[in-house]
Amino acid sequence: MYAPHERPPPSAEPLVNVPSYEFLAFAAVVAILASLSARPGWRRAIMLTANVGFLLTFSHTAAQLAPLVGFLALGYGSAKFFERYKNRALFAVLVVVIVLAFCWLKHYTFIPDSAFLSFPYVTIGLSYVFFRVLHLVIDAYQDALPEPISLAGYVSYTLNFTCLVSGPIQLFADYRRTESVQPASLSLTDVGAALDRIVVGYFKVAVLSPVLWTAHAYSVSGLSDASDLIGRVLCGVFVLTVYPVYLYINFSGYTDFVIGTARFLRLELPENFNHPFVSEGFIEFWGRWHMTLSNWWKTYVYGPLFMALIRRFPSPHVQPLLGVVVYFVTFFFVGVWHGQTSMFLFLGVLLGLGVSVNKLYQIEMTQRLGRARYRSLCRDRWYSTLSRGVTFSYFAFASLWFWSTWSQLGSFIIRLGPLGLAGTVAVTVACSALALAAFKVTLDWYANKPAPLAPAPSLYMRTAWYAAIVVLVLSVTVVLSAPAPTIVYKAF
C-alpha cells in the first residue's frame, strides 16, 4: 500500500501475496523438498531454486525483472571487486552509484521524470534488497564477510523469499549459517512456536489490521463532521493514535508470519519488534521498533560517521554533541528511505529531531543531576509513565507525515483550532501514558507469572485460543471472501 501522497514507480503486481495461503503452500513444498536430503548442497540448491522461483511470480515478462536484475548485477560486481581490490575512492563512487540507482528505480522526486523507465517493473522488495546489497559491498571492502561470495550464494541471500517483500533485514553470515552450515532446530517445541507465530501473525494482518484501518478512516472523516470542541478533540486523538497501532499490528503481524514460516525451512530470521510502545524515550523506541532497520543504519551510518567525527574533533567535551548530530543525520535518512516525496523529507527531520533531542536531554539531565540521580529519576513510576506517553505521542505525531498529505494536515489544523490542538495533545499524552502503564504491568506480570500457571492448563488454554483464532481468520478470509491482506511496508 502506498501512502496517498507518494508517487510510486510503475510496478508489476506479484502473483503470490505475503502473507497468504498460497505463500504457506509454496513454503511447505520448499520445506518438504529441502528435508529430502541432509546434504548441504541439496539444501542450498532447493533454496536457490525457491528464491528465484518466488521472484519470478512477481513478473509476467523478462523486461519487468530486468531493472532489478541489473541492480543485483551492479551489487554483485561491486562486492566481488572489493573482495580482491581495496580502493577508497572507487569504493565511495560505487556506493554512491548503488544509492543513486536505488533512488532512480524507486522514482525519488529529485530525479527528473524524463529519466525514469516508463514500463511496469518489479520494485516490491527492492528496498530490502538494497540494504543487503550495500551490506555485502561494504563488508567485502572491509574484509568482514565470513566467506567469499559465490553467485549462487549472493542470489539466494539477496532474494531470500521468506523476507524479500518487507524484511526483516538479515545479515549474510546469519543467513548462510541457517541456510546450509547449521540449519535451525525443528523440534516439536519449535514447530509449536512457529505455528503460534504464523497463526497470530496472520490474525493481526487479516483481521485486526482492517478493523484498525477502518477505525482510523472513520476518525479522519469524523473530524470533519464534529461540531463541538470535545468531539473534535476526541476525533483528533483517534486520528493521532489509531494509525501507529495499526502500523505496528500490520507490520509486526507480517513479521510474525514470515519468521514462523521460515522456521519450517529451518531458517532463523531476526526479530524486528520488541514491544516498542513501552519505550521511555525515542532512542529506546528505535531499539525496539523495526530493529533490523535501525540496527543496519547504526552499523553502516551512525557508527562510521561518529568515529570519523571523533577523529576530526577528538575533544571529549565535544563528543556527546557529536553523537547528537550523528543521531539526527542517521534518522533523517531513515525517514527519507520511507518515501520519495517532501512528506518523507519532513518525516526524516522529525525522526532526526526525536532521537537527537532525546540524546540532548539525556546529556543535560546527566550533567545537572549526575548519573546516579538521573537513573533513579528514570526508575520513578510516574516519570517512566509520563515518558512512555510522550514517546508514543511524538511517534504518533511524526506518523502523520507517514500517511497524510500537506493539504490534509492543513485541514486538520484548521478544523481543530488552537484549543482543539492543545486538547488533542494533552489527552493523547495522558491517555497513552495510562494505557501503556497498564500494558507494561501486564507484560511484567506475564513475564514473571507463577509456575502453577505454566504447565498443562496453559497448554490447553493456548490450544483452544489458537483454534479460535484459526476459525476466525478462516471465516473472515474464506467465508467472507476477504481480499489478500495489505502490508504497509510492502511499499518501501
Tens digit of each residue's pLDDT (9 = 90 or more) over 117-142: 888 898 888 999 999 999 999 999 99
Percent of the chain surpassing pLDDT 70: 90
Please report which confidence band the pLDDT of residue 265 belongs to, taking 50, 70 and 90 as the band edges.
very high
- From residue 55, give the alpha-carbon distance in Å to each of 1, 20, 122, 197: 19, 16, 9, 24
Q: What local confidence, expressed as pLDDT, does residue 478 receive?
A: 64
- Cα separation, 331 vs 344, in Å, equals 12
Q: Distance between alpha carbon 165 and the CA centroid of its chain, in Å?
A: 11
Q: Are residues 163 and 206 in the same domain?
A: no
Q: Are residues 281 and 430 in the same domain?
A: yes
Is residue 4 one of the residues assigned to a domain?
no
Q: What local confidence, expressed as pLDDT, does residue 316 receive?
A: 82
Is residue 246 one of the residues assigned to a domain?
yes
Q: Are residues 260 and 155 in the same domain?
A: no
pLDDT at 100 over 90: yes
- Provide the domain limits for residue 209: 188-269+457-491
Is residue 15 one of the residues assigned to a domain?
no
Confidence (pTM): 0.91
Q: Are residues 153 and 207 in the same domain?
A: no
Q: What local confidence, expressed as pLDDT, does residue 18 receive?
A: 83
Q: What local confidence, expressed as pLDDT, does residue 447 receive?
A: 72
pLDDT at 31 over 50: yes
Domain endpoint, select from 148, 181, 214: 181
Averaged pLDDT, 235-250: 95
Give per-residue burial for 368-389: e unless 16+ CB within 10 Å, then b. Answer: eeeeeebeeeeeeeeebbbbbb
- Cα separation, 289 vs 278, in Å, equals 11
Number of compact structural domains in the chain:
3
What digits encode the pLDDT tens for the residues 302-328?
Answer: 999 999 999 998 888 888 899 999 999
Please report which confidence band the pLDDT of residue 268 belongs to, taking 50, 70 and 90 as the band edges.
very high
Q: Are residues 197 and 61 in the same domain?
A: no
Q: Are residues 294 and 443 in the same domain?
A: yes
